[in-house]
Amino acid sequence: MAKKVAPIKPGEITKAKKVSFPAAVLRAFNELIVKHMSGKSASFRQDEVIELIMAKMHLEGNERNKIFDNNWLDVEAVYRAEGWIVEYDKPGFNETYPATFTFRSK
């Protein structure tokens, strides 16, 4: 007999997302948080985490879009649930600077 399925509850989203991330993605973010931690915060460029994810997952340059197609950079809610204050900053219209992640301890 098939297992009964129910709609997901709003409070279950973060847990479900955490399970859906490849381990290499969370390892890459964790490694960069440790590497860049200064005081109570760590900031690093989006390009740096993409490069590390690609290396850990053995992805080729033409597979970079796989990271975006699967929303593997959308880790904010997962880390907030673990007690981090997370900010993602990307350039707006007519701005040119690198996108960055900042993780602060509460």
Residue 3 lies in a domain: no
**Residue 14, domain member (yes or no):** no
Q: What is the mean pLDDT of residues 15-21?
A: 79
Confidence check: pLDDT of 101 > 70: yes
Tell me if 44 is assigned to some domain: yes
Provide the CATH number for the domain around residue 53.
1.10.10
How many domains does the chain divide into? 1
pLDDT above 90 (res 64) = yes
- Does a structural domain hold residue 2? no
Q: What percent of the chain has pLDDT over 70?
A: 99
**Do the domain assignments include residue 11?**
no
Q: What average pLDDT is seen over the chain?
A: 92
Global pTM value: 0.86
94's tokens = 């007519």
Print burial letters for 29-56: b (CB count within 10 Å at least 16), e (below 16).
beebbeebeeeeebbbebebbbebbbee
pLDDT higher than threshold 80 for residue 80? yes
Pair 44, 101: CB distance under 8 Å:
yes
Q: Does residue 10 sit within a domain? A: no
Give me the domain span that covers residue 98: 25-105
Residue 12 lies in a domain: no
- 30 Rama class: left (phi>0) / alpha (psi -120 to 50) / beta: alpha
Query: Is 59 within the bounds of a domain?
Result: yes
- With cut-offs at 50, 70 and 90, classify the pLDDT of residue 1: low
Tell me: pLDDT of 17 over 80. no
